[in-house]
């Protein structure tokens, strides 16, 4: 995987975390949901770690790997435990 591809995938990951949603990240980035999902899968494979815990209704950061937070832009919050539903 090229550096440019990794940087792109990290930007997509940051948008998924910011929006708490693959769908909303796709809309914001003007990409298909499938393209967002593939980018996250590529990044997870490259890093050999599951970055996000997915269910049918929610997306959460995998808290067992705090080192992944280094990938997030400054100001992003790794904690989404306020009880509010994902957007």
Q: Are 40 and 12 in contact (CB under 8 A)?
A: yes
66: how many CB neighbours lie within 10 A of its CB?
10
Give, for 53, the enclosing helix (H) or strand (E).
strand 52-54
- Kindly report the pTM of this predicted structure: 0.68
For the segment 45-82, what is each residue's pLDDT rounded down to a tens digit?
Answer: 998 888 888 776 666 666 555 555 565 555 544 444 44
For the segment 13-55, what is each residue's pLDDT rounded down to a tens digit?
Answer: 999 999 989 999 999 999 999 999 999 999 999 988 888 887 7
18: how many CB neighbours lie within 10 A of its CB?
17
């Amino acid at each position: 995987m090229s550096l440019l591809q990794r940087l792109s995938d990290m930007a997509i990951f940051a948008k998924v975390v910011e929006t708490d949603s693959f769908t909303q990240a796709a809309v914001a980035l003007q990409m298909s949901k499938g393209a967002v999902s593939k980018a996250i899968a590529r990044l997870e494979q490259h890093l050999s770690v599951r970055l996000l815990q997915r269910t049918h209704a929610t997306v959460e950061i995998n808290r067992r790997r705090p080192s992944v937070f280094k990938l997030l832009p400054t100001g992003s919050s790794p904690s989404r435990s306020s009880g509010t539903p994902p957007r």
